[in-house]
């Protein structure tokens, strides 16, 4: 599905400032407040807006960052990535197309990276690893680049799986809802009505 200009302007606006009010956004973009609210809900349901975080600088808190690159057997990639993700110190993990896992960890003044690395090195599928202490961070911004002509794969509002083929499209409360099948549609609408009834009590 292609995102239109309104979606792009909304994403840009809230990426720059998650605390911007819908009223300010509406005025800036030239649409109504209910339009902003409906679009933001849809962008959340589609998993494009993942959340609203505050950007706290670890360096200002005397915390150190460490980049870990783990070389492993191809089959073990996702398992090792999940294992790394379990550590609180690990703040970002990804798998490369190559048989490697990359993690960015933050070490507090009392914390140490060695226990984490010890555990990593003991996993039999780990062939080698490299650990780089970050000396300075020159740039650290949101990963998504918001520009015209963005598109997304629709995901089912109920089961959250990608929708292949024609989606089941339902308009409720002035906005489109997408489902992979009619049973997901039914489950979602039941849940939606229960929440609405509760809100009205």
* Chain contacts with Zn ion (rule: CB under 5 A): 156, 158-159, 180, 184
State which residue, 49 or 180, has the beta carbon closest to Zn ion.
180
**What is each CA distance from 123 to 51, 67, 68, 102, 128, in whole angstroms?**
33, 18, 15, 15, 10
State which residue, 31 or 159, has the beta carbon closest to Zn ion.
159
Note whether 80 and 124 are within 8 A (CB).
no
State which residue, 103 or 184, has the beta carbon closest to Zn ion.
184
CB of 172 vs Zn ion, minimal distance in Å: 16
Residue 73 neighbours by CB under 8 Å, 6+ apart = 99, 125, 127
CB of 40 vs Zn ion, minimal distance in Å: 22
CB of 150 vs Zn ion, minimal distance in Å: 23
User: What number of other Cβ atoms are within 10 A of residue 101's Cβ?
Assistant: 27
CB of 151 vs Zn ion, minimal distance in Å: 20
Distance (Å, whole) CA 104 – CA 134: 10
Note whether 2 and 32 are within 8 A (CB).
no
Report DSSP state, residue 108.
-
State which residue, 76 or 180, has the beta carbon closest to Zn ion.
180
State which residue, 129 or 178, has the beta carbon closest to Zn ion.
178
CB of 11 vs Zn ion, minimal distance in Å: 24
Q: State the DSSP string of 52-81.
A: ------GGGGT-EEEEEEEEE-GGGHHHHH
């Amino acid at each position: 599905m292609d995102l239109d200009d309104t979606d792009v302007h909304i994403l840009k606006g809230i990426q720059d400032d998650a605390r911007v009010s819908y009223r300010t956004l509406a005025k800036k973009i030239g649409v109504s407040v209910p339009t902003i609210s409906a679009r933001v809900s849809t962008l959340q349901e589609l998993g494009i807006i993942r959340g609203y975080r505050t950007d706290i600088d670890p360096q200002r808190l005397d915390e150190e960052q460490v980049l870990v690159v783990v070389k492993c057997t191809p089959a073990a990639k996702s398992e090792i990535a999940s294992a790394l993700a379990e550590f609180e110190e690990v703040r970002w993990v990804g798998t490369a197309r190559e048989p490697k896992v990359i993690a960015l960890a933050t070490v507090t003044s009392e914390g140490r990276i060695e226990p984490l690395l010890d555990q990593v090195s003991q996993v039999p599928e780990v062939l080698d690893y490299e650990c780089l202490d970050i000396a300075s961070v020159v740039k650290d911004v949101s990963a998504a680049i918001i520009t015209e002509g963005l598109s997304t794969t629709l995901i089912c509002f109920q089961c959250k799986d990608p929708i292949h083929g024609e989606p089941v499209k339902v308009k409720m409360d002035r906005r489109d809802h997408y489902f992979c099948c009619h049973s997901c549609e039914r489950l979602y609408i039941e849940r939606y009505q229960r929440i609405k009834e509760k809100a009205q009590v």
